[in-house]
C-alpha cells in the first residue's frame, strides 16, 4: 500500500467524480455516491490502521479549464498528500453536444498544456499523483469514443513524464465490455455517468494504483 498513516487523498474531476457530493468539500459521509466513496469505504475496511482521509472536489460539467480556475482553492490550499485527477470527458463531449460553439472547445493541445501546468504546480508538494484517463462506454467505432481515446493517450503520456500512477479507465470498461454492453454500466445508458458497478470499475483502478491488497 502506497498510502502512509493519516495520508490525505484528494480526488478532483467532473460530474463522474462529483456524484452528489457535499459542498464545499466532500468527505466522510459527504463523498457522494460514486467512486470516491467506494475508494474511501474500501480503504477504511481494508486498511483501518491507516486512518486515511479521502476528499472529493469534483464538480459537474468541469473541463480542464475549470480545474485551472479553481486549482489554488480546491487543490493547492487543501495540501493533499496524494492527488487523483480525472478530467477530459466534458472537454470532448462539448465538441459533439454543442459543435456550433467553436470558441468553447478544449483542443487536444490546450488540454495537454493545461494539465501539465496544473500538475507542475502541485507535484513538488505531494507524495504521489494518480492520473485517470477520460472514458466513453462504447466501441471504438463511435467517433466520440475515438476522440476520447486521443485525449486518453495524452493522459498516458503525461503520466509517464510525471512519474504518476496511471489508471486506464477505458481499458477497465473495455474489459467489462467482453461480457456485457458497456453502456449498461452507466446510469440511463448515457455512456458517461456510471452506475454502481461502473463506479466500482473506477474505484478498483484507483485502489490498484495504490497497491491495495484485496485479500486483506
Active-site annotation, residues: 15, 190, 193
Per-residue buried b or exposed e for 158-189, using 16+ beta carbons within 10 Å of the residue's own CB: bbeeeebbbbbbbebbbebbeeeebbebbeee
Report whether 119 contacts 130 (CB < 8 A): no
Q: Are strands 128-132 and 82-86 parallel, antiparallel or unpaired?
A: parallel
Cβ–Cβ contacts within 10 Å for residue 127, how many? 14
3-class DSSP string for 170-185: HHHHHHHCCCCCHHHH
Look at the alpha carbons of 134, 51, 127, 1 in this order and tell me if their dihedral is positive or negative: negative
- The helix, strand and coil proportions of the chain, stated in percent and rounded to the nearest 5, come to 55, 10, 35
Amino acid at each position: 500500500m502506497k498510502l502512509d498513516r493519516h495520508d490525505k487523498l484528494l480526488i478532483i474531476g467532473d460530474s463522474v467524480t462529483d456524484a452528489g457530493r457535499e459542498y464545499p468539500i466532500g468527505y466522510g459521509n459527504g463523498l457522494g455516491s460514486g467512486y470516491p466513496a467506494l475508494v474511501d469505504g474500501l480503504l477504511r475496511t481494508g486498511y483501518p490502521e491507516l486512518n486515511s482521509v479521502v476528499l472529493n472536489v469534483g464538480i459537474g460539467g468541469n473541463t480542464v479549464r475549470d480545474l485551472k480556475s479553481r486549482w489554488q482553492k480546491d487543490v493547492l490550499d487543501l495540501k493533499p498528500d496524494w492527488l487523483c485527477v480525472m478530467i477530459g470527458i466534458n472537454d470532448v463531449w462539448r465538441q459533439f453536444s454543442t459543435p456550433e460553439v467553436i470558441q468553447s472547445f478544449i483542443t487536444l493541445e490546450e488540454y495537454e498544456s493545461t494539465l501539465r501546468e496544473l500538475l507542475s504546480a502541485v507535484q513538488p508538494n505531494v507524495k504521489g499523483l494518480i492520473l485517470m484517463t477520460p472514458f466513453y462506454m462504447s466501441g471504438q467505432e463511435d467517433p466520440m469514443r475515438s476522440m476520447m481515446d486521443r485525449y486518453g493517450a495524452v493522459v498516458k503520456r503525461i503520466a509517464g513524464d510525471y512519474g504518476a500512477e496511471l489508471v486506464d479507465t477505458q481499458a477497465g470498461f473495455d474489459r467489462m465490455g467482453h461480457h456485457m454492453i458497456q453502456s449498461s454500466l452507466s446510469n440511463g445508458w448515457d455512456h458517461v455517468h456510471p452506475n454502481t458497478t461502473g463506479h466500482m470499475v473506477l474505484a478498483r483502478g484507483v485502489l490498484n494504483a495504490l497497491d491495495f491488497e484485496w485479500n486483506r
